[in-house]
Amino acid sequence: KMNCCGLLTAQKEPVPLKSVEVELEVRDHVATVVSTLNYENKEDKPLEAVFVFPLPGDAAVCHFSATIGQTQIVAEVKEKQEAREEYDDALSSGQQAFLLEESEQSPDIFSLSVGSLPPGESASIRLEYVTELAVQADDGLRFCLPAVLNPRYQPQGASVQVTSVPASLVPYSLSFSARVSSPRPVSKVESNCSLDPLQYLNPEQTQATVKLAAGHKFDRDVELLIYYKDAHQPTAVVEAGQASAKPGTLMGDPVVMMSLYPEFPQAVMSSVASCGEFVFLLDRSGSMGQENRIGSARNTLLLLLKSLPMGCYFNIYSFGSSYQHIFPKSVEYSQKTMEEALKTVEEMGADLGGTEILNPLEHIYSQPCIPNQPRQLFVFTDGEVGNTKEVISLVKKNSGSHRCFSFGIGEGASSALINGLAKEGGGHAQFITGTDRMQPKVMQSLRFALQPAVVDISVTWDLPKGVSVTVLSPPITALFQGQRSLIYAQLTGESSKAAEGCVTVKYSLAGHPSQNQLHFSLKPAEDTGLTVHRLAARTLICSLEMEEKERRGEQDEGVKKKVVEVSVQSGVSSVFTAFIAVNKGDGEAVQGPLVRRNVPTSSECRGDRALVGSDWRINLTYMFLMAGTAPKQTPRDPLLQLVSLQKASGCWVLDPALAASLGKTSEEVENLKLASEVWATILALIWLHGFKVDAQDEWQLLAMKAVSWLRAQNATCVTECVEAGNALLGCNVQKDVLGL
């Protein structure tokens, strides 16, 4: 039985959501989102309801209010237990109340309890959050508005209770508008949904608005990609503290947000590592059968395996309710092991049930590392995982021995999981939705994985006398060429208006010490509201929550107390706090003793109302999606056809299959004067450059490998081969373009 995600009564009946209005304000790379959800109780009795919804994983929820009839109630952040008791007490004394809390399993799921909505009454709920926008492979900034909660697979058997919505059941309308402003011109905004044209608000084109075209049914995630001219400039934004807060506190002091883009020396970047242990972990749960995600993943593994350098080690794991690996432990990359792996990959279907990622990860980490072969883990999943925090914790615990690159496949992949894996694993995260080809994004991550690891990263601050700094972000553990690193810091003390500070990032790359510097003015920016403070508070809360999780055995109440304190002071939610709003009617306090109700553990229920929290008890069942394996012999795209014929060493062999993939007969490609493997390899390279230059980021690494192989042959006939190859294929690709 499929049921709506959204507002449900205690009897699990959906409450009609009439409409959703979303206003997005993007300043440079920070988004503030205001969502208004309008409901109506059409029943003849008062109802109590629970609303469960997804948010971006790193969002800081900073405002929550409800309007019923003419009354507006604004929620406050309180310690979770206290908030739940206040909610129960309000209901038992006949008042309306609202409770908003973060799931304990996954920071991108929130549940909202709406208590006592009278018959015929409408409620309008306003929710505001801020979030950083991630930089994509093509420098676009990605904003995603999750539409529905995918079913998340809960490990350990029985209590699988999550929710999903088929598109046809989403009856409400969505209006969505965005305003973008940046110091740099906005070059374009793209989306997976149809947009009205971008409207510029000023001649410099640094401010623009954009709206979803009318008639959008909110049946899928809305993704926006925002592009600026010269996106890679380091910037610093200083935001003034809140006038009403005490100086010396997080909200009372100015906070600075730094975005750094390290530039590495060209000499280091041009050399690609020829070692590493590459472990690929592929999701084969039933839901990977949708939109042929599994087929796309198989093609991607083909490109990855062909692009690996000779001399490295590799293994491929796949998982669902159970897991499998191709080799008992990572093996050296050779023609034999590559062929064996590809044969197994070809037979992989979306046929392993649920999404249990913890066991294969534990198995991978239990294998000893190979000396001088840095471990690089690539995780492909549609992210329908219930125990997100546990998984991320495990990756963090092993972050010293590997880098983790993650790929969220399909709509609704949990951003908390995908971003968390990469962040704690010192790697890089990519999201691949319906229409995107997976390959370019994955190959970009492979290029990052082949970049030498940056070590000994340190950040030093040079500030005027009388100003001290408290860094709120965790230490930077990974840097990649052209990737952004964000740092939040609190500035305490007085400085003159014209003062400036400087931040220096030092690191060592392939044995060379390097540094990047950024000078910035301490004068606060105009009217940024408290966005930066809230993001900084969220960053601090996340690192404290991580710390609390690691120390859990030691009864460390201190860290939890600090989280609650930061959360209450900043008005940003955390796992230990909740937003509570009570409509006190005529403003008088409730008389008489309050009824205390302790919140039971996840195995019990809370009165007749399900407790959303440790196991999101929304009693709906997980639907196993149709698991289909693709037919074995689907006609391959010509590029993949050619790639599949390349040898592990980088060369191609002259045979009928190569001729066919180049669109020629065996007789046409035969050339008796020329050394056959050199000739075949040059033909393949000319074809790639001549016909597939638009997909160059997908085949660049395997072409480099082919060129290295050719150079090692010291062949004398290269010029002749290139001329003959161009003539045969009808191309005009010069020798130097090929890299020869």
Q: Which of 39-43, 45-49, 200-204 has the lowest mean pLDDT?
A: 45-49
Angstrom distance (rounded) from CA 430 to CA 405: 8
C-alpha count within 13 angstroms, C-beta hemisphere, residue 10: 13
Q: Which residue has the higher pLDDT, 374 or 612?
A: 374
Q: Give the residue-averaged pLDDT of 606-620.
A: 26
For 162-179, the pLDDT digits (tens) are 344 433 444 567 788 999
For 345-374, the pLDDT digits (tens) are 998 988 888 888 999 999 999 999 888 888
Q: Residue 687 has what pLDDT?
A: 93
Q: Residue 337 has what pLDDT?
A: 96
Q: Residue 496 has what pLDDT?
A: 73
Q: Residue 477 has what pLDDT?
A: 76
Residues belonging to the chain = 740
CATH of domain 275-450: 3.40.50.410
At 20, is the secondary structure helix, strand, or coil? strand
State how far the alpha carbon of 644 is from the alpha carbons of 67, 338, 436, 667, 691, in Å.
60, 11, 21, 22, 17
Q: Residue 554 has what pLDDT?
A: 57
CB 277 within 8 A of CB 313: yes
Nearest to 146 by CA among 119, 160, 127: 127
For 409-442, the pLDDT digits (tens) are 887 788 889 989 998 888 888 888 766 678 888 8
Q: Residue 311 has what pLDDT?
A: 86
At 677, is the secondary structure helix, strand, or coil? helix
Residue 42 pLDDT greater than 80, yes or no? no
For 663-692, the pLDDT digits (tens) are 888 888 887 677 789 999 999 999 999 999
Angstrom distance (rounded) from CA 500 to CA 515: 19
Residue 72 pLDDT greater than 90, yes or no? no
Q: Residue 22 is encoded by which pair of tokens?
A: 């979303």
At 430, is the secondary structure helix, strand, or coil? strand
CB neighbour burial string for 418-433, b if at least 16 within 10 angstroms, e if fewer? bbbbbbbbbbbbbbbb
Q: Residue 166 is encoded by which pair of tokens?
A: 């088929």
Q: Which residue has the higher pLDDT, 554 or 739?
A: 739
Q: Distance between terminal CA atoms of the chain?
A: 61
Domain ranges of the chain: 275-450, 638-738
At 339, is the secondary structure helix, strand, or coil? helix
Q: Residue 17 has what pLDDT?
A: 67
Q: Residue 333 has what pLDDT?
A: 95
Q: Are strands 429-432 and 402-409 parallel, antiparallel or unpaired?
A: parallel
State how far the alpha carbon of 705 is from the alpha carbons of 309, 336, 338, 643, 683, in Å.
7, 17, 15, 12, 15
Q: Which residue has the higher pLDDT, 256 or 291?
A: 256
Q: Give the residue-averaged pLDDT of 314-330.
A: 93
Q: Residue 134 has what pLDDT?
A: 83
CB 167 within 8 A of CB 243: no
Identity (one letter) of the amino acid at 610? A
Tally Cβ neighbours within 10 Å of residue 44: 7
Q: Residue 632 has what pLDDT?
A: 41
Nearest to 65 by CA among 125, 136, 146: 125
Quote the strand ranges of 398-510, DSSP E. Answer: 402-409, 429-432, 454-462, 468-471, 485-492, 500-509
Q: Residue 47 has what pLDDT?
A: 67
For 520-563, the pLDDT digits (tens) are 999 888 767 889 999 999 999 988 887 776 666 555 678 889 99
* Residues facing residue 99 across a β-bridge: 113, 580
Q: Residue 330 is encoded by which pair of tokens?
A: 């990572």
**DSSP for 386-419, written as a single string:** S-HHHHHHHHHHTTTSEEEEEEEESTT--HHHHH
Angstrom distance (rounded) from CA 627 to CA 625: 6
Angstrom distance (rounded) from CA 200 to CA 179: 10
Angstrom distance (rounded) from CA 622 to CA 626: 12
Q: Which residue has the higher pLDDT, 661 or 482?
A: 661
Identity (one letter) of the amino acid at 75? A
CB 528 within 8 A of CB 510: no
Identity (one letter) of the amino acid at 44? D
| 269 confidence band (pLDDT: 50, 70, 90) | low
Helix/strand/coil (H/E/C) assignment for every residue in 127-151:
EEEEEECEECCCCCEEEEECCCCCC
For 111-162, the pLDDT digits (tens) are 777 777 777 878 788 889 999 988 877 788 889 887 654 434 333 332 323 3
Q: Residue 134 is encoded by which pair of tokens?
A: 């991630």
CB 26 within 8 A of CB 226: yes
Identity (one letter) of the amino acid at 399? S
Q: Residue 435 has what pLDDT?
A: 64
